[in-house]
Amino acid sequence: MAFSGKFGEEKSTIAIDKLNVTACWSGFSKPRRENSATYSSPPGWVIVGHATHIHSSNNGWRSVSVLNQGTQYASKEDMRSAYHEAHDLAVSLKDRKAAANIKTEEASALKAYTEIANSGNSVVRAVVGAQPRGTAFIDTCRGWEEISVRVTERYVGTKESILEDLKSKYKLYK
């Protein structure tokens, strides 16, 4: 379940927990095995950092990538549009003070957004692999790998959440 946050708020999440693979001998062959997992940030959140914890490894390997794909968060244009809609609503309700404050707040929010959202990453993909070692007759050993991935995410919002926050803050309800 996605939850909203405050603009710029950070949270730490175990994105991928105990991803593992084990590779065993198969007759006279030693096949490679791989396993993968993907984590997507909830709407409005971007990944700004990650850390990989290796639980166990024997003749294995790992790869962790942070990508920008598919998750919804507010673009700079979405943020500008939300502020303009809130400003127009304040004007239509004849609340000059709220309209002026929204215009002032927009400039600082857009500057902060540029600093926060530059990473724009929203997906972590982890791959683990292993291969058995030794010879078919003596010293046959399994291979394995087990990792977890923790991400740090920052809230930049969605257009809808930004607009709702502004309506609530300035009591802009018809």
Q: How far apart are CA 174 and CA 137, in angstroms?
A: 80
Q: Which residues of the chain have pLDDT under 70?
A: 1-3, 69-73, 114-120, 174
- How do 123-130 and 10-23 pair as beta strands? unpaired
Length of the chain: 174
Q: What is the pLDDT of residue 1?
A: 40
pTM for this predicted structure: 0.74
Q: What is the pLDDT of residue 73?
A: 65
Sign of the dihedral defined by the CA atoms of residues 153, 159, 164, 170, in that order: positive
Each residue of 121-133: pLDDT tens digit? 788 999 999 999 9
φ, ψ at 118 (rounded to 5°)? -55, -35
Q: What is the pLDDT of residue 112?
A: 73
